[in-house]
Structures are given as C-alpha cells and as structure tokens.
Structure 1
Amino acid sequence: MSALKLAIVGGGSTYTPELIDGFARLRDTLPIGELVLVDPAADRLELIGGLARRIFAKQGHGAVVRTTTEVAAGVADADAVLLQLRVGGQAARDRDETWPLECGCVGQETTGAGGLAKALRTVPVVLDIAEHVRRANPDAWIVDFTNPVGIVTRALQEAGHKAVGLCNVAIGFQRRFAKHLGVDPELVRLDHVGLNHLTWERGVTLLDAPGAAGGREVLPELLAGFGQEIADDIRLPRRVVERLGVVPSYYLRYFYQHDAVVEELKAKGSRAAEVAEIERRLLEMYADPALDTKPELLAERGGAFYSEAAVQLIAALLGTGGGSSVQVVNARNDGVLPFLPDDAVIEVPAEVDAAGVRPLPQRPLEPLYAGLVAAVTGYEHLALDAALRGGRDRVFDALLAHPLVGQIELADRLTDRLLAHNREHLAWA
C-alpha cells in the first residue's frame, strides 16, 4: 500500500507531539507519507509543526508535515482525519469546571453540566468539519478524540459519516494491568463495557500469545495482589472495588462519590488552570529549535497511550495493520447491549479492519451498571438533540435527565448558568 495522508484537526494542540511520537515510532504499522496539522491558531501551528518535523527527522521518518488554518485544504484527499479540538479553549474548560460547583454539582469537562456545555459548543463545529471531509473524500475515516466522545461520535454517525470514537481509558488499564502481571500489554485482553467515561472492566484475560483465543481470567488475581494500587489509581475505596469485583473507570467516582468530589473540587480549583500552566510551559519548550523529542512534561498534560491506540485503530481501518484486530472503541450499539437503542454509541471491544468496526457480543450487563448506562444514554440522546436544534427547553431536559442533576430547580439554575457562560459559542442562544 502507498504511504498514507493523515490530517489532525486541532493539530495546534500542545498534545499533538504525543501523536507525532507514536506515528514516528510505529511507522511500520502505519506508513504515513503526509501529515497535515489543521488549526485556526497559526502561531501554535508554527511551533507544533516545527517540532513535528524535528521528531520525524530524529527518528528517520520521511513524512512531509504541512500546516494550514483552512479545514478544507487540510483534509483534502486525506485517508483518515483525526479530531482533537476544543471549542473555546482552556478558558471555556475552566468555566465548565467552575460554574456547576456554584450549584453543588460536579464541575468536569465531560461529565454532568460541564460536559453538556462542551457538547453544545462542539457538535456543530465537528459536523461542519465532517462535511468538509465528506466533500473531499467520502471514503475517509473520521477518528474522534474530541470529548465528549460518545455524544460527538453519535452526532457524526447519525449524520452518515464514517466515524469511530477513541478514548485512552481502556488502553491505560491494559498497560497498567500488564505491568502488574509482568507481561507484554498485547497479552492482556479486557472485558471492557459501558459508555465513554462510564465503563467497567468486568474481566481481564491473560492470553498465551497476542491475538490468541482462550486465555486465563486473571482479574481476581489482580484485585487480590494489587487491589490497593488499582483503587488508588481510580481514586475509589479499595473495599468498594473488592465488593464489586470489577474495576470502574476513574470517571465513575463522579457518580459513586459525587458530593465528596464536589467538595474536593471546590477546595482544589479547576483542572483547566493546571493544564493552562502546563500548556504555557510546553509552548515555551516547543519554541526551542533544538528540541526534537516529546518533553517529559507532556505526560502531565493527560492522554497517556493515545498515540499507540490511534495507530492501532487507524492501521486496522486502513488495512495496514496486518488484518483485523480487537480494539476498544466507541461504536454504534446495534443490539450489542439490547436494553439500549441501536443508535446509541457504546464503548466495548470491537473487531476492526478495512471493512469497518463490529462491536463484539457482550454478556448481559449487571443491573448495578445497566441502570446507570441506560440513564446516561437517555441523557446523551437529549444532549445531542439540544446540540443539533438548540433551545433552552432542550438544555433543561438534558440536565433534568442526567443522573448527577435530576431535580427541577437544580436543572433550572444550571441551565441559566450554562447559557450565560456559552452564548458566544451557541448560534441559537
């Protein structure tokens, strides 16, 4: 196969060098001939583009790196387009993480009221970008990293785009479990199920060889030997993890310990402020013409292992990865979880190849988890409706349906604050 052309929309992100490093290291799996970074921030593009060229050169990668502020020009003839944008930047994130706390609700960029605000700002922009992709190359795959991944991916799929969502929670668990077991990560297969940022590891299988059938269930062994480390990692009490016998994602603490997290966030301040300072320091580093590797500080920015997950997924979709592979993705439900609508987007292992993405069958989801999954799916449906059609009433409905809100007076107050802080990004407000 000839070398591929990839485009990254949001390529001016300080996180982009993590992707570049993965593309350079794994070039045999994903042979890129041209990489286009697309971003409206021309000054950041210049810094990121320069560093990307130096990273590729240092690792002997021959890809051409181009930059542009124009989406149509950037995605033209691309085989795959990666979306990693943040409408409103870190300032909007800081607001998302602050005003919900005024109402006693968790302030977080993908969960609760803050997550809804991000969805409302993001969905229209992503759909506009996707139309450029469709006009340029209707066969191109769109891989969405942009949060909230489940809602954004559902918007893309309902608009008829070839889209799949990707999150780093699953690959993060795979890598950490492999480290505990002292094995190669490719020997660890997860029974990962739920929605984006609302998932549980119900099993961990240790394979005899990468991609092999069968294997040995080792989750009880992991919980017995490394229960405290796992509990600390997801910031939940060890006794709860042991009682459940599963490993919830970190994001479940917003549901399982909501009130305690609210108090913690009030005392600590927003994560956005921390990230903004990290970004300032990273941009200073990126400006150094001698820098030709991703700096260690980038690990504090978040998104560990995204580059490896992205390479695996894109290589499978474009047929450069040596056939089909099983990967955890955000994909259309289509009866996999029968208590959800077919058009819901779920996060489960799927068989991925050049023919597309096919979620694997799942055993019944236990009521303790299924109820929460169903409720959040209902919220996501209403959130997407609000993002597509606008209107205060639709915003209110989505908040009222969210398990972390669910009260009339609270939904009213949150709706007013959401609109007040986001009018500049909402054409209908």
Structure 2
Amino acid sequence: MEERKTIKIATIGGGSSYTPELVEGFIKRYNELPLRELWLVDVEEGKDKLEIVGNLAKRMFQKAGLPVEVHLTLDRRAALKDADFVTTQFRVGLLDARIKDESIPLKYGVLGQETNGPGGLFKGLRTIPVILDIVKEMEELCPEAWLVNFTNPAGMVTEAVLRYSNFRKVVGLCNVPIGMEMGIAKLMNVDHSRVRIDFAGLNHMVYGLDVYVDGESVKEQVIEMLTNPDNTSFVKNVQGQGWEPEFIRSLNALTCPYHNYYYKMPEMVKKTIEAAEKEGTRAEVVKQLENDLFELYKDPNLNIKPPQLEKRGGAYYSDAAVRLISSIYNDKRDIQPVNTINNGAIASIPSDSAVEVSCLITKDGPKPIVIGDIPVAARGLVQQIKSFERIACEAAVEGNYDKAVLALTINPLVASDFLAKKIVDEMLEAHKAYLPQFFKEPVTTK
C-alpha cells in the first residue's frame, strides 16, 4: 500500500490565543491528516506571544506522541514555501485596534462590534491589503496550496480574494455555523454527527433553511424550541435577548447569533453601551482574557488546551478548521458550511460573489449546494450586507475615502451619511498606521 504524502501547514497569525485550539484539532485528526510540519508565523509585534504559544504547541504534540515539527518564524515567505495548506487567523493592529473599532462608534450611538457595522468595515479595510499580499506570495511559493481563512470579517476577506486576485483556492471559515449545529444537537439531545443544517447567506448573516436529525427534517420542532429565549444564542460573545415567538415562527428559518445586531438593533446598542461602561468593550474584556490565557500558556507543565480558552469565543474552531482541511485532503465529499464563490447556489446573490453556504467538500475544494434562494423575508437584508461588503472591498483596495463613507452609509447599523462620514473620519485617523492606502501623498506636477 502506498504511503500517503505528509503535509506542511502554515498558520499566519500563529501567535494567536486560538492556536492551541487548532493544534488540538490536528492531534485529534492526525490519523486522517498526516501533518509533518506546522509553521507558526507572526509579525514583530506578536513575537513574544508566538514564542509562548509555539512552545505550548510543541508540548501538546509531544504529549500526544506525534512526530510533528513546529517551526516558529517571523519570515512569512519561509513558512509559505511548499505549504500544502495555509490558515490565516491574524488581526492587523492587534486587540488595541479592535478596542478602537468597538469604542469609537459607541460615541455616536452606533453599535461597536468587531465584524459588523463600522468595526467590520475598518477591520476589513486593514485586513484586505494584507490578505491580498499573502495570496500573491502563495501564487509564487505554494500555488497548489489551499488558503483556509479564519480572519474576520471572513466573508468580506473571501470576497476580496475572489474579486481582486486570480487565486481561487480560497475558503473562508467561521465557527458560527458549527456552533449552531452543536447548539441544535444539545437542544435535541443528540450527538452532533446526527445533525445537519442547510445553511445559506453570508458570513455572520447566515440562515438555517432546514435542520435534520438522521436525515429527517425537524425544523418546525426546533423553531418552536427557539421561541424560548434561553435557547437562542450559541456563541459566547454574542448574547441576545430571545426572539419574539411571532417573529421567529414567521421567519421560518434558523437565525445566527449575529442577527441580534440587525433584528434587535436598539436593544443591542443599549446593551453594548451599558456593558462598555460597566466592564469595558468586548475587546477590552478579551484583552484581559488573553493576558490570563498567555500566563497559563507560559506554564512549562501545561501540555493541553486549557478549558479557559472557550471563554475567548472560538469554540469549535479546531473542529471546523481541521474538519475542512481533512475533507479536502481526503476528498471526503461530506457537507460543510463555508464561505466560497456563489456560482448560482443562491439565486439573489451575484454568482461571482462570496457566500456562506452548505457545500460538498472535495479534493478540488467546496462545491456549493444549489438552494435556490433564501426566504423573501431575509433576502433584502442579505443583499444589503452584500452591497456593503462589495463597496467596502473597493474602498480597501483603492484607498477610496468616498467609498468608505458610502459603504458605511449602506450598512443598516449606521444608515446615515452624516453619521457615516463622522465615524469614518475619526476611525481613519485612529487607524492611520494600518491604513496607508488612504494616506498616499498626492502626486504633484510641475
């Protein structure tokens, strides 16, 4: 029997507190995914964290008795050279940038959130030029590799790669759909392997159009259970207040936790402002959580993923990420929800746009399952967010101030050109160091 090729994986943003979650996934699936080398890459600002989390990764593989070489580097090109898969989980500007993303909008009575509204726009503006640089390097150094992007805003980042590069081996990934699956499994008191949801929409704007247990639809039963406010949130960092029974029954689809920001905007703005005044923004809470986690990671006796990591909000990341990589590598042809090119799967979204949809996962990547369309009640909101993402990508690539204002005006969490301009002005200045495309010197002619 021919021995299978072992693989090299490069993780950009390797100094992230999420890395032990990823390593745990590689350990659990080692029998089906023969990892040879894991390259953890970071930037100079993240060097100390890279050393800490990288050494924990080495201890985890050692405890598991697996011959995986862990390389720690600030040299992205060395990490990418001949990689089979590249995963991205980086944050341009680190958590200090996220704090600004969340706190500045609140001053204007607008939701401050990492991937939605102004925060999502500015995270995209900072991230898109970097991801496009990474893709260029991949085309040169590992053209056959798959890019598995976990960096938020995952949908917008995937859109930018599809629209502004010739690179097509990109999949955007989020832990929200798998979190919804896990939540439904818990509600139904069944194992996760027995649950499947037909997902369609966009990243952080995805709907469950049907839900199955052992292949039988249980959607009506689940929706009735979701009229109980204790059953409606499956992500630790997005806690809603429960849906009105009339709303969730009429919508006739499963919502994701991020829908709270759109269908409960006044309540969520109020709640977010109150939480920020009481304990700081979510980013400030996460920063303290990360400090505590890295203190744990420093312990030379620690050789497992600590349970405290779940408070960080990245639960099931390893299940989602490593499951996807293994399915591509092994041509499993199983069904998973990912961000990929639409190709007609959702009728009301352009075929060349990125969508989050259930796909058949093959050695040639995700093949979207054609679902026809999303319910008319949800369609307008999804199209509005896709318009926002498209214009935001244009603004990021061109360094176009006017389009940044337009994108934020389109976004339903702002919906005011006056507010959009004020917020963009302040956030551009706050993030100036990471947005060089907006501060180019004017060309002068004699």
Same fold (TM over 0.5): yes
Report deviation, 1:291.
Answer: 0.4
Residues 177 and 266 of structure 1, relative CA distance in 2, 3 Å threshold: same
1:407 is displaced (CA, Å) by: 1.7
Q: What amino acid maps onto 2:430 in structure 1?
A: H
Q: CA deviation at 1:304?
A: 0.8
The match for 1:27 is 30
1:216 aligns with 2:216: yes
The partner residue of 2:357 within 348, 358, 365 is: 348
Equivalent position to 1:62, from 67, 82, 91: 67
Structure 2 residue 17 is matched with structure 1 residue 8: no
Q: 1:169 to 1:232 in 2, by over 3 A?
A: closer
CA distance in structure 2 between the partners assigned to 1:115 and 1:220 by the alignment: 33
1:237 alignment partner in structure 2: 243
- Kept in 2: contact 1:340–1:374 (CA 8 A): yes
Q: Contact between 1:223 and 1:230, CA under 8 Å: does it hold in 2? A: no
* Aligned partner of residue 248 in structure 1, secondary structure: coil
> What's the offset of the Cα at 1:70?
0.8
Secondary structure at 1:303's aligned position in 2?
coil
Give 1:232 deviation, angstroms.
5.0
Residue in structure 1 matched with residue 113 of structure 2 by the alignment: 108
Select the residue among 406, 409, 428 that pairs with 1:397: 406
- Taking the aligned partners of 1:309 and 1:72, their CA distance within structure 2 comes to 26
Unaligned segments of structure 1, at least 5 residues: 208-214
- Paired amino acid for 1:92: A
Q: How far is the alpha carbon of 1:57 from its aligned partner? A: 1.3
The residue correspondences of 1:278-427 to structure 2 (distance < 5 A) are 278-318=289-329, 320=330, 323-427=332-436
2:271 aligns to what SS in structure 1?
Answer: helix
Task: Find the residue that maps to 1:329 and give its secondary structure.
Answer: strand
Moved beyond 4 Å, runs of 4+ = none
Alpha-carbon displacement from aligned partner over 1:322-368 (angstroms, at most 9, x marks no partner): 53111100011122222221221110100111122110010332111
SS of the counterpart of 1:348? strand
Alignment partners' CA distance in 2, 1:380 and 1:132: 24
Determine helix, strand or coil for the equivalent of 1:349.
strand
Q: Which amino acid aligns with 2:231?
A: I
1:170 and 2:177 correspond: yes
- What is the percent sequence identity of the aligned residues? 38
Partner of 1:148: 153
The CA distance in 2 between the partners of 1:160 and 1:168, in whole Å, is 27
Cα-to-partner distance string for 1:182-238 (whole Å, 9 max, x where unaligned): 32212111011110000111211112xxxxxxx211122223346423225462325
Q: Is the 8 A contact 2:175 2:317 kept in 1?
A: yes
Q: CA deviation at 1:402?
A: 1.3
- Superposed CA deviations along residues 85-112 of structure 1, whole A, max 9, x for unmatched, are 0000100000000111111111001000
Pick from 177, 191, 205: which aligns with 2:212?
Answer: 205
Q: Contact 2:187 / 2:231 at 8 angstroms: preserved in 1?
A: no
Report if aligned partners of 1:231, 1:238 keep a CA contact under 8 Å in 2. no
Higher mean alpha-carbon deviation, 357-366 vs 272-281, is at 357-366
Gaps of 5+ in 2: 440-446
* Map 1:80-95 → 2, pairs under 5 A: 80-95=85-100
Give distance in 1, aligned partners of 2:226 and 2:270: 28
Equivalents in 2 of 1:93, 1:116: separation in Å?
12
Shift in Å, 1:293: 0.7
For residue 219 of structure 2, what is the amino acid of its counterpart? L
Counterpart for residue 195 of structure 2: 188
Give the 3 Å change call, closer, same or farther, for CA 397–232 of structure 1 in structure 2. closer
2:259 counterpart residue number: 252
1:78 aligns with 2:78: no
CA distance in 2, matches of 1:2, 1:329: 26
Aligned length in residues: 420
Residue type of the alignment partner of 2:91? R
Cα distance in 1 for residues equivalent to 2:51 and 2:232: 42
Partner-residue secondary structure (3-state), 2:300:
coil
Give the conservation status (yes or no) of the 8 Å contact 1:54–1:292: yes
Query: In structure 2, how many angstroms separate the alpha carbons of the residues matched to 1:98 and 1:415?
Result: 13
* CA–CA distance in structure 1, aligned partners of residues 425 and 321 of structure 2: 38
- SS of the aligned residue for 1:242 comes to helix
CA RMSD after TM alignment: 1.4
2:140 aligns with one of 135, 145, 156: 135
Aligned partners of 1:120 and 1:387 also within 8 Å: yes
Paired AA for residue 181 in structure 2: Q
- Provide Cα deviations, 1:245-271, integer angstroms capped at 9, x if missing partner: 322111011111111111111111110
State the TM-score, normalizing by the size of structure 2. Answer: 0.91
Contact kept, 8 Å, 1:8 with 1:82, in 2: the verdict is yes
Contact 2:162/2:353 (CA < 8 Å) preserved in 1?
no
Q: How far 1:303 sits from its partner (Å)?
A: 1.2
- What's the CA shift string for 1:145-182, capped at 9, x where partnerless? 00000110111222122101001111111112122223
2:287 is aligned, of 269, 276, 296, to 276
Paired letter, 2:318: S
